[in-house]
Amino acid sequence: MALRQLTTGAHARRVLFAPVPVAPTKPLTLSHVKGFLWSDVMHRATSLLHHVDLHYSWSVGVLNAQTLGFWDHLDRTRPGADFSRCDEEEIGALYVEYQRGRPPGDRLDPAVRRAAEAGGPPHPAGARILDLWDVRLRELGIADPGLRTRARPPLSLDQLVALLADLGLCVDHRRWNGPVYLDGTRGGLPLRLLVGADGTANYLAWLLRDLIPHLRAYDDFVLICDRDTLPDYVLLRHLLGRLGARVHLVALGRVRTSGASGPVPSSRHGGWQGLTAAALAERHLDRVGPDAYRLGLRLYFVATLGRGDRQPYRAELLNRCMERAARVLKGQSSPRDPADTAALLRRHARPHPYVDPYRLTTALLARDRRGGADGHLLNEVYL
C-alpha cells in the first residue's frame, strides 16, 4: 500500500496552504526560488499526513497597482511591442526601470483597474513571463500552483468591507470620499490601509476576498510570506482568527546576494541579474541531472540557508549541495516501514499541522549518514 494511503486517516486534518503570490513582472529570483521550494517541501510532506489543498491567488499576483501600473506603462511607452522573444531578465529590466522612474504617490488609472478586474488574458509581457515560469517550475520539480488560474473572488469588495465593519475590524470612510482601513487595534496592531480614497484596493483586500469564503472548509490555514510582508500577514492572521479560522504563519527571509547587512532589497530594485532560476538551471541542470538538481536545490535553500536571511548566497556551497544530492540519491535505501516514515513526519510537524521543511530535510541528511535516505520519502517530497 502506498505511503500516502497509510499516513492519512481519521486523524487527518483539512489544511489550506496559501503562499504569497509573485507578480509576473520579473524573473524568479533566488528569493522566489527559496519561497517556492520551502512551500513545495512543506506542502508535499504535509500531504502525507493530512488532506491538503494549495491556494494560489491569481488576483493577488496580477490585479495590484504595481503590476497593472507596469503593464499600463508598457502600453503607453512601447505600444505594439512584441514580448514573445524576450527573456525574463529583459522584461524584468523594464520593470526595474519603471519602478525607478515611478513618481511618488503615482496612482493607477481607475479605468485600467476596472478593465483588468473585468477579466481577460494577462498583458503580453506578463503572459511571456508566465510561459517562462512554467519552464522554471518544471525544472525545479514543482507542480504549477495555479499561476494562470483566474477566477473572480467569491466575495466582493463591498461585501468584504461590510463583513469586517460589522465585526469592528475596519474603519470605512468611503461615504465621505475617504479610505478604508483595516482595524486590528484590539489586537495591538496598527491601522492598515485597505482601500485608498480613489477606490483602489490593495493586495490585502484580494487576499481576504479569496480566503474568507474558505474558512468553513478547512481546519487550519497556513499562510506563507516573506519577512518584508510579515506585518501585513500578522494582521491578516489576526483578522482571519477573529472570523473563526485557525491560522499558522510561516515567514521566510529573502536570499542575500551580497554580504551587506540590513534588510534585503525587494526584487523590484534589481540586483538579481545572473542570480535567477534560469541561471541556476543553466549552470547545474545538465551537469548533474534533474533529480540531483532538484534535491541539491532543496538541500541548499531549505537546509543550508534555513528560514532566515543571515547567510548570503554562496555558489560554492550550492555546488557542494549538488554533490551531496548525487551521493544521497546513489546511497538511498529501499522504502522504510510507512509507519516509521509517518512517525518521522509527525515528529517534525509538532506542534503545528504542517511539517517543518528545515527539520525534515536535516533529518533526511542525518538518516543518509546512518545508512541511506528513505527512497520513498525522497520521491514523494524532494524530487
The predicted-structure confidence for 227-252, as pLDDT tens digits, reads as follows: 889 999 999 999 999 999 999 999 99
**What pLDDT, in 10s, does the model give residues 91-138?**
999 999 998 887 766 677 777 777 777 777 789 999 999 999 999 999
pLDDT of residue 232: 95
Q: How far apart are CA 220 and CA 146, in angstroms?
A: 20
pLDDT of residue 259: 64
Q: Is the pLDDT of residue 214 over 50?
A: yes
Sheet holding 170-172, edge to edge: 170-172, 180-182, 192-195
pLDDT of residue 174: 93
C-alpha cell recorded at residue 17: 496552504
Torsion of CA 121, 125, 131, 137, to 10 degrees: -110
In degrees and rounded to multiples of 5, residue 226 shows phi and psi of: -95, 165
140 vs 367: which has the higher pLDDT: 140
pLDDT of residue 5: 43
The answer to whether the predicted template modeling score (pTM) of the entire model surpasses 0.85 is yes
Average pLDDT over residues 6-14: 65
Alpha-carbon distances of 63 from 56, 69, 135, 267, rounded to whole Å: 13, 10, 23, 18
Q: Is the pLDDT of residue 7 over 60?
A: no
pLDDT of residue 267: 74
pLDDT of residue 279: 95
pLDDT band at 311 (very low <50, low <70, confident <90, very high): confident
DSSP symbol at 381: I
CA 240 to chain centre: 19
pLDDT of residue 74: 93
pLDDT band at 216 (very low <50, low <70, confident <90, very high): very high
44 vs 6: which has the higher pLDDT: 44
Residues 6+ apart with CB under 8 A from 154: 209, 213
Residue with cell string 546513489? 330
pLDDT of residue 361: 95
Q: In 3D, which of 68, 62, 60 has the Cα closest to residue 205?
A: 60
pLDDT band at 11 (very low <50, low <70, confident <90, very high): low
Q: Which amino acid belongs to residue 106?
A: D
SS3 label, residue 28: coil
Q: How far apart are CA 302 and CA 202, in angstroms?
A: 31
* In contact, 22 and 61? CB cutoff 8 Å: yes
CA 356 to chain centre: 16
35 vs 336: which has the higher pLDDT: 35
Q: How far apart are CA 214 and CA 174, in angstroms?
A: 27
298 vs 377: which has the higher pLDDT: 298
pLDDT of residue 4: 52
Average pLDDT over residues 173-179: 94
Q: Is the pLDDT of residue 2 over 50?
A: no
SS3 label, residue 104: coil
Q: In 3D, which of 340, 345, 285, 286 has the Cα closest to residue 42?
A: 345
Report the residue count for the chain.
383
Domain assignments of the chain as residue spans, ordered by start: 272-382
Q: How far apart are CA 41 and CA 108, in angstroms?
A: 37
Q: How far apart are CA 328 and CA 148, in angstroms?
A: 35
Average pLDDT over residues 40-50: 95
pLDDT band at 1 (very low <50, low <70, confident <90, very high): very low
Longest CA pairwise span in the chain (Å): 69
Average pLDDT over residues 135-162: 87
C-alpha cell recorded at residue 242: 477573529
Average pLDDT over residues 315-343: 86
- Residue by residue, DSSP assigns 335-380 as P--HHHHHHHHHHTTTTSSS--HHHHHHHHHHHHHHH--BHHHIII
pLDDT of residue 101: 80
* In contact, 18 and 221? CB cutoff 8 Å: yes
pLDDT of residue 149: 73
pLDDT band at 297 (very low <50, low <70, confident <90, very high): very high
